[in-house]
A and B are shown apart, each in its own frame.
Chain A
Amino acid sequence: MIEVRELTKSYGPTVAVNKVSFDAHAGEVLGFLGPNGAGKTTTMRILTCYLSADAGSATVAGYNIFEESIEVRKRIGYLPESAPLYTDMGVIEYLNFMTQVRHLPKSDRKERIRAVIDICGLEDVIQKDIGELSKGYRQRLGLAQSLIHDPPILILDEPTSGLDPSQIIEIRNLIRDIGQEKLVLFSTHILSEVSATCSRILIINNGEIVANGSPDELASQAKGEDIVHIAIRGSQEAVEAELNELEFVSQWTHVETTDGILAYQINAAQDSDAAEALFHVVVKNGWSLTELRQESVDLEDVFLNLTDDKE
């Protein structure tokens, strides 16, 4: 439903989005993950036809975003970052305005307004002015306006920012439900959010897509190795000789020695049951074991690795 090819956009000398390409289809929840200022918002603004790009092309639901922008906009529901709303309007008045500019037939308007109020849990505030609403309700109203025309594509920029934990869970569940049939593209810089909600993750850094895949795929891609932390009381020479012998150990480092206890960090081949094997080695040599801990690489490491700017 969305096809993006080599999209590039710069603000003066700063390249905000650099040759970004990806595809997305209905029934997917696509998480845009990246540190602040990575180009998530800019990409979304281009896709929603708010900004244009310097180069590249993109189609949304088969329409070119630069040439058929009105058609594209009809099919997108968009919630910008921090849910900007008209604070002097009433909640119903605002939704009603949205049904008009979204060209809903008069007969459906009431029904759609009722529907989005139900979906987004706005019953308690329908009498209020938007200016009186709490951050959480504003976010929900923002979501409600993006859903009012039942769009096939939903683009949400940091939909959970500024919400409390229970509201975050509500919004996530909502996104997952909507993503059953529609395409949802949402951005966040919170990691647990994507693994909890998304069927696919795009990690973006410095305007470039650095990873694209399901949460499990990304985690296993980066895995490759398990890391084992071990602390042994024994002779350093003997221990290190033994470590060199072990086949599954690709690399080890002596971390420290405290009170005769040697601490090592060992990189072992993936799925080699390294911890168990190391335990047997220790027992066989009659050393004593004070710590044995296996760490597997998860999304967080993937994210940190990919977005590390040091290189």
Chain B
Amino acid sequence: MTNITAIFKKEFRSYFNSPIAYIFITFFLGISSWLFFRGFFIQNQAEMRSFFGLMPWIFLFFIPAVTMKLWAEEKKIGTVEILMTLPIRDSEVVVGKFLASFALLAVTVLLSLVLTFSVTYLGDPDGGTLIAGYIGLLLMGAAYLAIGLFASTLTENQIVAFILGISTCFVLLIIGEDFVLFNTPNWLFPIFSYLGLGAHYSSILRGVLDSRDIIYYLSVIGFFLYLSTLAVESRKWR
């Protein structure tokens, strides 16, 4: 545990030592507020549907940008050689890095509560839906993070990691979209609709916290963290 904490602190601080965290937070809040308020006044309804609805697509570009450096940079400048010869398990490093990126996401989402407050001020939205929405947002974001982290373990080039991350998330996102599902063969339909990253999020957004959806996201996170550990260990494969 001390190992994970140490790695977590180092990575979390590194986000704020470099401009990454500030750029991420500013742009994320800026873009999501713009898109939110643009629709908000047109619909003239005190709800955040449009805000939450946009998130799977906004995350698609923002999250891989947060995770791309986590391994690629270490490999590029060679610090991975010191890191992986410390008395720490590979899995502990993976988890520590994941938690640090999750903390950055959580901070950002926390700051976006400003939007919620303004909605609450202007009207009377349904509290339960809002809370469910935020939980869904964090779960889905964490799944994106795990995928982005895995992409970063595969290369020493941050741009490649970024694009790999986006593509993987994109594929997992669209296979659950109606447009794709209409055109999938019947036997694939249940698999695709279950695996889609967005469908579970939409069902949480309706205000129903189903354990199946939570389990889905936790499994995606666990699966990609496991793959990341394997990828990091692959240097030692015989």
Chain B residue, CB-CB nearest to A98? B86
**0/1 per residue, A23-66, Cβ < 8 Å to B?**
00000000000000000000001001111111000000000000
Question: Which chain B residues lie closer than 8 Å to A71 at the CB level?
Answer: 87
How many angstroms between the C-alpha atoms of A52 and B85 in the bound complex? 12
Is A145's CB within 8 Å of the partner chain B? yes
Question: Which of B10-18, B97-105, B201-209, B216-224 lines the interface with chain A?
Answer: B10-18
How many angstroms between the C-alpha atoms of A82 and B2 in the bound complex? 29
Q: Report if A50-B79 is in contact (Cβ < 8 Å); known contacts: A70-B89, A93-B13, A101-B6.
A: no
For B6, give its contact among A52, A53, A87, A97 (CB under 8 Å).
A97
A89, B14: Cβ atoms closer than 8 Å: yes
Q: Report if A88-B238 is in contact (Cβ < 8 Å); known contacts: A50-B84, A80-B81.
A: no
Residues of B197-238 whose CB lies within 8 A of A: 235-238
For B82, give its contact among A51, A54, A80, A87 (CB under 8 Å).
A80
Is A263's CB within 8 Å of the partner chain B? no
Is B77's CB within 8 Å of the partner chain A? yes
Question: Which chain A residues lie closer than 8 Å to B238 at the CB level?
Answer: 52-54
- Chain B min CB distance to A101 (Å): 5
A50, B86: Cβ atoms closer than 8 Å: no
We find that the number of chain B residues with CB closer than 8 angstroms to chain A is 26
A101, B88: Cβ atoms closer than 8 Å: yes
Is A224's CB within 8 Å of the partner chain B? no
- Chain A min CB distance to B176 (Å): 38
How many angstroms between the C-alpha atoms of A97 and B3 in the bound complex? 10
Is B149's CB within 8 Å of the partner chain A? no
For B86, give its contact among A45, A73, A82 (CB under 8 Å).
A73
How many angstroms between the C-alpha atoms of A303 and B7 in the bound complex? 44
Question: Which chain A residues lie closer than 8 Å to B17 at the CB level?
Answer: 88-89
Decide if the interface of chain B is mainly helix, strand, loop or mixed. Answer: helix
How many angstroms between the C-alpha atoms of A88 and B88 in the bound complex? 22
Is B78's CB within 8 Å of the partner chain A? yes
Question: Which chain B residues lie closer than 8 Å to A297 at the CB level?
Answer: none
- Chain B min CB distance to A6 (Å): 15
Is A78's CB within 8 Å of the partner chain B? yes
**0/1 per residue, B1-41, Cβ < 8 Å to A?**
01101110110011001100000000000000000000000
How many angstroms between the C-alpha atoms of A307 and B77 in the bound complex? 31
- Chain B min CB distance to A153 (Å): 12
B81, A101: Cβ atoms closer than 8 Å: no
A52, B79: Cβ atoms closer than 8 Å: no
Question: Which chain B residues lie closer than 8 Å to A54 at the CB level?
Answer: 238
For A51, give its contact among B5, B79, B236 (CB under 8 Å).
B236
Is A128's CB within 8 Å of the partner chain B? no
- Residues of chain A whose beta carbon lies under 8 Å from any beta carbon of chain B: 45, 48-54, 70-71, 73-74, 76, 78, 80-82, 84-89, 93, 97, 100-103, 145
- Residues of chain B whose beta carbon lies under 8 Å from any beta carbon of chain A: 2-3, 5-7, 9-10, 13-14, 17-18, 77-79, 81-82, 84-89, 235-238
**Extra contacts besides A52-B236, A87-B77, A101-B6 (12): CB < 8 Å:** A49-B84, A51-B236, A70-B88, A74-B87, A76-B85, A80-B78, A84-B79, A85-B79, A86-B10, A89-B17, A100-B9, A101-B3
